[in-house]
């Protein structure tokens, strides 16, 4: 029987792979990405080096919190709200947000 740390590591790795391999979403042809300049470099470095990794951790940690709250949220009829708060919002902040758009 596998040990608890190896099972936890496997689950966290699988979740990380799901987040990384998720589609980026459709891009509307009428919108353009904001133009980034060298003045934005520190903000981009801060975003990529610090905010995105912590946001990814927040997304991964949010899944067990959602699972723990799901029975209570289902009874209250707020399952989608619980999903949005614990999983979807951190995911959107991590993956779908433009660079240096805090």
Mean pLDDT of 6-16: 61
- The answer to whether residue 21 is domain-embedded is no
Whole-prediction pTM: 0.58
Q: Does the pLDDT value for residue 75 go beyond 90?
A: yes
In a domain, residue 5? The reply is no
User: Domain total for the chain?
Assistant: 1
Q: In the prediction, which pLDDT does 57 show?
A: 94
Instruction: Kindly tell me if the per-residue pLDDT of 25 is higher than 60.
Output: no
Residue 11 counted as domain residue: no
Q: Do residues 75 and 100 make contact, with C-beta atoms less than 8 angstroms apart? A: no
State residue 32's pLDDT score: 64
Residue 12 resides in a domain: no
Range of the domain at 47: 43-102
In a domain, 28, yes or no: no
- 56 part of a folded domain: yes
Residue 18 lies in a domain: no
Distance CA 15, CA 7 (A): 12
Residue 38 in domain? no
């Amino acid at each position: 029987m596998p040990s608890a740390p190896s099972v936890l590591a496997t689950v966290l790795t699988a979740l990380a792979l799901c987040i990384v391999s998720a589609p980026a979403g459709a891009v509307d042809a009428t919108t353009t990405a904001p133009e980034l300049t060298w003045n934005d470099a520190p903000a981009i470095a801060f975003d990529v080096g610090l905010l995105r990794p912590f946001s990814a951790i927040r997304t991964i940690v949010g899944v067990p919190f959602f699972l723990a709250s799901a029975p209570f949220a289902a009874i209250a009829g707020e399952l989608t709200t619980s999903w949005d708060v614990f999983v979807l919002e951190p995911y959107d902040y991590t993956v779908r947000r433009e660079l240096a758009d805090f």
